Amino acid sequence: MAYNKLIRALMIEIPSVPGSLGKVATAIGLCGGDIGAVETIKVGTAYTQRNITVQIENEEQLDKIIKSINDLEGFRVRAVSDEVLRAHEGGKVQMKSKMPIQSLADLSRVYTPGVADVCKVIEAEPEKAKIYTNIGNSVAIVTDGTAILGLGDIGPVAGMPVMEGKSALFDQLVGINGIPILLDTKDPDEIIETVKHIALGFSGILLEDIGSPHCFEVEERLKAELNIPVMHDDQHGTAVVTLAAIISACKSTGVDLKDATVGQIGLGAAGLAICRMLMAYGTKSVLGADRSQEAKDRLENYGGMPVDSLEDLMSRCDIVIATTGVQGLIKKEWVRKGQIILALSNPKPEIEANEALEAGAAFAADGRSVNNVLGFPGIFRGVLNAQSDKVTHAMLVAAAEAIAACTKPGDLVPQPLDRSVHEQVAEAVEKVARNAK
């Protein structure tokens, strides 16, 4: 889900006595900071120097954290750095040749005159482009910049760091060439026509950070008009990982997901896709609430049941998922004893997990664990391996089940950089894709 916190690295001088690191952690936590990596830089007789990465909502919160640490006797924040900006300098991806070109013989093989022979082979048998070019292993990552993380419509150029991130993950996790494509139009017709014109160079299209409601039209029309797989990650990538999380939560609490009544609060791109995934999985009763009548009509068309009142939805559902971006939307008194509640908005959920548990929920979690990166790399690796021309709900359900199967007891989902998880997802998707041919 959307996640727009700031990340800063604090270099802190800490007294070398037991409990000192705990005091720093407490100071950061009381100010609302979220601690990430902790790295020991130098260990001395009197002081230990550590780099502590902290996620914050704004610079004012950072100032409070620094003051709180400096107010501790013997503690000192020596430096603050923005490691994220430094990591993005010059971009995160690059195009590189797989072959060394160090002689005229090399040149003649990779370019002229030898390349002409390859062109003639492809002209005669176009399907061989997947053998003799990188088309068979390339996916276009397409955005119009209208729904970048939790930042909204900030434009395609400002969204490029996200597209580069997707590209880097494709490469590192499953060996796919992900090529960012930035479009300077929000018009669905223009987006569709542009993607259709460039599609020859790719074996898949990943739509990314395209806003609702035009994302639905763009995806559906491209799926109908192209003969390569198309997937909108904000819809289906989120839905896959959410379904995996729900399966894990049900295992922990002994709930039968297929017989449960599930409520979805927020029927935007992610919310509607989650509902469709649940129904594809076999959940018999899926309810949904949203302020938009158009969104509720869409849910009804897909086979779900729209409701008008959040309180009504909470009273009727065994499992509740929220993707609204509205902090504190779910009231503590609405929580039913034994409910499973996944409030997935970041950085602030619709209800804090500890509040939901205090109110009687059997299981509660926020969106920090539900990361799309667990889904899209393996899904596309699987469809490319199978040379499938589409991504189906059966493939997406298989991906979710594979993620859930890799989840350790007590966890919601696996660690997102565990390559074995992505391999399992790819194998599950490929199996379904091949069986469907």
- Show which residues are catalytic: 111, 166
Question: What is d(CA 47, CA 76) in angstroms, rounded to the nearest whole number?
Answer: 10
Bridge-based pairing state of the strands 34-43 and 47-56: antiparallel
Amino acid identity for residue 156 in this structure: P
What is the DSSP-derived secondary structure letter of residue 194? H
Give the Å distances, CA to CA, from 414 to 278, 345, 365, 400, 404.
20, 19, 14, 11, 8
Residue 3 phi, psi dihedral angles, 5° rounding: -150, 105
Burial (0-12, 13-18, 19+ Cβ within 10 Å), 379: buried
- The DSSP secondary structure of 111-168, one letter per residue, reads STTTHHHHHHHHHH-GGGHHHHSSGGGEEEEEE-SSSBTTTBS--TTTTHHHHHHHHH
> Which residue from 255, 252, 246 is spatially nearest to 281, judged by alpha carbons?
246
* H/E run at residue 193: helix 188-198
**CB within 8 Å of 413: residues ≥ 6 apart:** 241, 244, 245, 248, 369, 370, 371, 374, 403, 404, 407
> Which residue from 248, 299, 176, 239 is spatially nearest to 407, judged by alpha carbons?
248
Tell the residue number behind the tokens 């035009």, with chain if given.
214
- State CA 103 to chain mean position distance: 44
Question: What is d(CA 338, CA 27) in angstroms, rounded to the nearest whole number?
Answer: 34
Question: What is d(CA 431, CA 437) in angstroms, rounded to the nearest whole number?
Answer: 10
Give the Å distances, CA to CA, from 372 to 245, 367, 376, 433.
12, 11, 7, 21
Is residue 254 left, alpha or beta, with left meaning phi > 0 and alpha meaning psi from -120 to 50?
left
